[in-house]
Structure 1
Amino acid sequence: MVRLNEDLIFNGFSRINPCRQRELQLRRMTITELADLGCTKDAYGCIDFSKNGITKLDNFPKLNNLRTLILHDNRVKLIASDIGEKLPNLEVLMLTNNLIAELGDIDPLAECKKLRVLHLMGNPCSYKKNYKYYLIYKIRSLKVLDCKIIRQKDRLEADKIFKGKKNLPNIKEFVNYST
């Protein structure tokens, strides 16, 4: 098990990506735990943790400049409840092929008020009934989900299924939480 530390961060590959963000690539480093991100001094707009063994999205310091977080092909099961507070300007979150099991496990992302692009393909939760509509209902800022643009009719359908007291049984029926 490799815990992210200062040495790994300083040995990571840094570049300006096509979105003109300063990007830190920490791919394929067998990282299992996030820590010491404070030593980046909030200098990156994008951090790529693809193909590691990360299980939890937690231990973030406040990173105001981080806009894009890439975590494809990890083992993420848990998203910390304070992610919106710690990453207040997060706009793009890529979590393809992880282990997020239940729709309720995604609830902390509702606190990411600027999140507009989310990829969860290949997670067990993405096969749940009303997955798309629950995420649209819960994360109001989303514009793209799993490479598909969210249309007004999708928002209306999400509200029809989940909004209001009369639809509380729908939330209880479709939304579970991992233990």
Structure 2
Amino acid sequence: IFSLEEVSLHQQDIEKIQHLDKWCRELKILYLQNNLISRMENLGRLKKLEYLNLALNNIEVIENLEGCESLQKLDLTVNFIGRLSSVESLRHNVHLRELFLVGNPCSDYDGYRSYVVATLVQLQCLDGNEISRSERIRACQCLEEVRRRVMEQEEQQVWRREKEKRGDTGDSPKMTSTEEQQEEQEFWNTPCSFTPESRLEAHRHLEEKRRAMEKSKEKKPKPQRTLITEDGRVLNVNEAKLEFSLTEDEDNNQLLLDLTVYRHMDTSLLDVDIQPTYTRVSVKGKVFQLVLPVEVKPDSSVAQRSQTTGHLLLTMPRRLDVDPSRRPTLDLGSIVQRREVKDGRLEASQSSAPPAACRGGLSEAFVDDPEVPPLV
């Protein structure tokens, strides 16, 4: 951007010139026509600028161009320049050859052309008409008289502009739809003076209508779909509206879910989640959820995609029930009834004496106390 020599920013609803003098020092051609610019500012550092187009804006005074040393052509067509005396600031632009002021209030002044021709001696063409040598001589001869007439008309124009500014009204209160329609018709059908304020008002009016239309077209966010109810019940959902088939493979004791996924869709856009009682597949953010008729093993399940049709096949082994015959049973006959305890003391068990092999392993100091219960 720092090396740009030509920039076109026309019809961008720009209200203020900014940053160009810092970012585009090499500019030679600058188009800023048909915007809402009210002041000529931040252009003084563009030393290489040769052509500046500010037609169809809201400029009222010619100013701040003294630093544009290379300026050769300046277009200010259809603006609101009433201070014709401000053209004297262009005397410093010694290379200025063409100037366009047609369509401005000052172009209707009596003596307008003579004043500009005599003031800017370096000018060669004004409003597309070449300046002859004889015309310049005549303009210089009557410059004082022409300047006096121009100043009088300029004061009247300034007074009218002040009156127009004081006549501006504030924002209107809120209205109903019917009142808005009536206001809309009155806004466009009521004649008004062509001023910078009227241009801004029309622009802001259109901008408000555009924003209101965009806001009305905005899609309201859809409520999030319920996949599992509050009581834990899983719902069947098919947001993607995909065809599917669920079959049972009795030979291999498994469930097969064939989901008709879009053939050319990338596999990275799929997300598969298999739970014991249901399966969930996300297809480009749209959920497909199906409740399974039997429990399956999520850890042993497999998801495969066909390279020819693009279908997604989920293979889910069924969870097998435990064989009741293999379950350990409780032998009721081996249960021994517990003896009752008398006086809080345990009765000694009348167990037989230990075998000789066991007694042989005891020390001689061992005393067999019959009141001590045997260790189990």
Q: Quote the offset at 1:89 in angstroms.
A: 1.1
TM-score computed with the length of structure 2 as normaliser: 0.39
Q: Deviation of residue 37 (structure 1)?
A: 1.2
Map 1:14-25 → 2, pairs under 5 A: 22-25=5-8
1:156 is matched with: 137
The answer as to whether partners of 1:107 and 1:138 remain within 8 angstroms in 2 is yes
Residue 107 of structure 1 deviates from its aligned partner by 2.1
1:83 aligns with 2:65: yes
**Poorly superposed stretches of 4+, deviation over 6 Å:** none
Cα distance in 1 for partners of 2:65, 2:146 equals 26
Residue aligning to 1:124: 105
Secondary structure in structure 1 of the residue aligned to 2:142? helix
Give a deviation string over 1:113-137, Cα, whole Å, max 9, x none.
Answer: 1111000110000111111111111
Alpha-carbon shift at residue 58 of structure 1 (Å): 1.7
Q: Deviations over 1:62-103 (max 9, x none)?
A: 1111000001111111222x422x211111000100000132
**8 Å contact from structure 1 (residues 37, 61) kept in 2:** no
Q: Distance in 1 between matches of 2:146 and 2:30?
A: 36
Instruction: Using the TM superposition, give the Cα deviation of residue 24 of structure 1 relative to its aligned residue in structure 2, in angstroms.
Output: 0.6
Please say if residues 77 and 98 of structure 1, whose CA atoms lie closer than 8 Å, have aligned partners that are also in contact.
yes
Structure 1 counterpart of 2:71, one-letter code: L
SS in 2 for 1:105: helix
Q: CA deviation at 1:104?
A: 1.1
Residue of 111, 118, 136 corresponding to 2:117: 136
* Aligned-partner SS, 1:135: helix
Q: CA deviation at 1:110?
A: 2.1
Q: Work out the number of aligned pairs and report it.
A: 153
Structure 2 stretches lacking a partner, 5+ long:
160-376
Structure with higher Rg: it is: 2
Number of the residue aligned with 1:67: 50
Relative contact order, higher structure (CA 8 A, sep 6+): 1
1:61 CA drift (Å): 3.9
Q: Give 1:173's aligned residue.
A: 149
Q: Distance in 2 between matches of 1:105 and 1:39?
A: 26
Unaligned segments of structure 1, at least 5 residues? 1-9, 15-21
Q: Does 1:96 align with 2:72?
A: no
TM-aligned CA deviation for residue 172 of structure 1: 2.5
Measure, in 1, the Cα distance between the counterparts of 2:56 and 2:102. Answer: 11
Q: Is the contact made by 1:119 and 1:146 (CA closer than 8 Å) also made in structure 2?
A: yes
User: What's the CA shift for 1:33?
Assistant: 0.9
TM-score if structure 1 supplies the norm length?
A: 0.78
Q: In the alignment, which of 16, 25, 50 is matched to residue 33 of structure 1? A: 16
Please tell me the residue identity of whatever aligns with 1:116.
R
Tell me the C-alpha RMSD between the 2 structures. 1.8
Q: Which residue of 1 aligns with 2:374?
A: none
Q: Distance in 1 between matches of 2:142 and 2:107?
A: 17
